[in-house]
Amino acid sequence: MTGRCQNEPPSTGNRNLPLKTPKGTRDYGPGAMALRQRLLDQVVRVFRKHGAVPLDTPVFERKELLAGRYGEEAKLIYELQEQGGEPLALRYDLTVPFARYVALHNLSSMKRYQLAKVYRRDNPQPARGRLREFYQCDFDIAGAYDPMLPDAECVKVVCEVLHQLDIRAFVVKINHRKLLDALLQVCGVSAEMFRTICSSIDKLDKMPWDAVREELILQKGLQVETVEQIGMYVTLHGGLELVDRLADDAKLNCLPGAKEALDELRLLFQYCALFQVADRLSVDLSLARGLDYYTGVIYEAVLVGGDNDDEGTQAALVGSVAGGGRYDNLVGTFNPHRKQLVPCVGVSIGMERLFCIMEARSREEPRTNDTQVYVASVHKGLHLKRLEILNRLWAADISAEHSYKTNPKLLDQLQHCEQYRIPYAVIIGDGELARGVVKLRNVATRQEEAVELEMLIEKVSSQLLNGP
């Protein structure tokens, strides 16, 4: 007789299957998830403080909807294998789905936030928080409003989020797509080359000018004289004084787009000064943000290191932690017959990159549960009484748990409380129950007091509210 032995598990056909996550992804254990959730909660509080409402969209969209929105970045879109239906792709960001939502529901205004995973077929760099699956936290304002009022609030939101996360050493680089286009026009670049040249210029935060210069000449085909003129502009950075200096540039003055952009940048500085964040702004003419849909002000929050050497090193690795800008035409591309445009501006917070900073900064494992009370027993045969008390605590909306053994050792139960930092333990024993009392133990101080069983819920509630 042949075949498997009776107790042999069925073969999976993958006996040597490597146990690892797909490239560019990672698992987040309880400690990491506790830290991530704390960060996400802090970000949401800022978004809600500014009046934003939550939104969720599908994790995949119709492929044709995403096509043509991201310029050269489109090669990073994850396309899904067609299963007999319409061609689909995983969402690349949260901005295009939001614009699709506004167009689909024929909205004229909306202030929304969204926290969700996005997917990019990129070359992962985990140490820099650069993954293929990662969270974005977006804040957007859609609607026709007066210039720079929504834009300034987006900058304020970025600064508030970073302050809320206790990240102090950062700068918000700003530029304007119309100014960038005007600079390229002044330098003799044809309009059809603007976007591809911008994608090279945008690499100046990662590459020296000499490397970008070589790419513009050898790969993009620009003349050396043109590239040298571009270099004179895109290596400039500064504050409001740079805006004034560019306004005096005779070549730029001839272009309406440049004048409009400089006026808007000056207004942005004024509003950000009232929001007390103007000192964070730095005009950086190399900032291009390669996505095709930006039409006006663009910005990017960059960590610059701090007094702490470890954080400075991590900041250098992570770099940009937030970015966004104005995209006035994106909604209209989904609904070309609509008479009125829906201008938009928004910002995206890179949660994975911030998480790298927080994880490196954390000196101890964060608490991973919300249990407030542990119900412990001293003697055998008390598990039914434990369940009764446990149910009363739950009914009072108190987070509680107990051992899943009918007769656990008291020392094991108390060690569990200390290991998971559960603040209080209710200890029951035959003698105490005969007198109608239980012991309430402060796990941190190990102090105990007798509490009447009928008053337990009231006493625990008071302790949790007011502390010991």
Got the DSSP string for 365-419?
PPP-----EEEEESSTT-HHHHHHHHHHHHHTT--EEE-SSSS--HHHHHHHHHH
**Whole-angstrom Cα distance, residue 397 to residue 66?**
45
Question: Is residue 307 very low, low, confident or very high in pLDDT (cuts 50, 70, 90)?
Answer: very low
Angle at 460 between CA 454 and CA 463, to 5 degrees: 140
Averaged pLDDT, 348-376? 87
Judge whether residue 6 has pLDDT over 70.
no
What's the pLDDT tens digit per position in 212-226? 999 999 999 899 999
Q: Which of 163-172, 266-275, 433-442 bottoms out in mean pLDDT, i.e. has the lowest?
A: 163-172
**The dihedral sign for the CA sequence 161, 165, 166, 171:** negative
**Whole-angstrom Cα distance, residue 9 to residue 2?**
16
**Whole-angstrom Cα distance, residue 9 to residue 30?**
31
**Whole-angstrom Cα distance, residue 260 to residue 255?**
9
Judge whether residue 12 has pLDDT over 70.
no
Averaged pLDDT, 391-418? 96
Residue 74 is given by DSSP the state G
DSSP assignment of 412-449 equals: HHHHHHHHTT-SEEEEE-HHHHHTTEEEEEETTT--EE
152 touches 268 (CB < 8 A):
yes
Judge whether residue 2 has pLDDT over 60.
no
230 touches 286 (CB < 8 A):
no
**The dihedral sign for the CA sequence 413, 447, 386, 369:** negative
Instruction: Tokens 């309009």: give the residue.
Output: 191
**Whole-angstrom Cα distance, residue 76 to residue 332?**
24
Binding site residues, as ranges?
93-95, 120, 136, 140, 289, 293-294
Averaged pLDDT, 243-271? 94
**Whole-angstrom Cα distance, residue 102 to residue 55?**
11
> Could you tell me which residue, 282 or 309, shows the higher pLDDT?
282
Query: Computed over its alpha carbons, how large is the radius of gyration of the chain?
Result: 29
DSSP assignment of 121-178 equals: ----BGGGTB-SEEEEEEEEEES--STTHHHHHHHHHHHHHHHHTT--SEEEEEEEHH
Residue 330, both tokens: 């994106």
- Contacts by 238-243, CB closer than 8 A, 24 or more apart: 238/282, 238/283, 239/269, 239/281, 239/282, 239/283, 240/266, 240/269, 240/278, 242/283, 243/269, 243/283
**Whole-angstrom Cα distance, residue 113 to residue 110?**
10
**Whole-angstrom Cα distance, residue 290 to residue 47?**
26
What's the pLDDT tens digit per position in 175-204? 999 999 999 999 999 888 888 888 888 888
* Domains and their CATH numbers in the chain: 30-361 (3.30.930.10), 373-466 (3.40.50.800)
Averaged pLDDT, 441-464? 95
Judge whether residue 305 has pLDDT over 70.
no
32 touches 368 (CB < 8 A):
no
- What is the tally of helices (H) and strands (E) in the chain? 18, 16
Shortest CA distance to 153 belongs to which of 163, 142, 141?
A: 141
**Whole-angstrom Cα distance, residue 206 to residue 218?**
19
Report the share of the chain in percent with pLDDT over 70: 93
Neighbours of 443 (CB within 10 A): 18
Question: Beta partners for 174?
Answer: 283, 299
271 touches 300 (CB < 8 A):
no
Shortest CA distance to 296 belongs to which of 419, 426, 163, 175?
A: 175
Judge whether residue 16 has pLDDT over 80.
no
pLDDT at 386: 96
Question: Is residue 290 very low, low, confident or very high in pLDDT (cuts 50, 70, 90)?
Answer: low
**Whole-angstrom Cα distance, residue 359 to residue 338?**
47
Mean pLDDT of the chain: 89
Give, for 282, the enclosing helix (H) or strand (E): strand 281-284
Judge whether residue 1 has pLDDT over 50.
no
Binding site residues for L-histidine, as ranges?
93-95, 120, 136, 140, 289, 293-294
**Whole-angstrom Cα distance, residue 217 to residue 224?**
7
> Could you tell me which residue, 1 or 130, shows the higher pLDDT?
130
Judge whether residue 247 has pLDDT over 70.
yes
pLDDT at 293: 87
Judge whether residue 311 has pLDDT over 70.
no
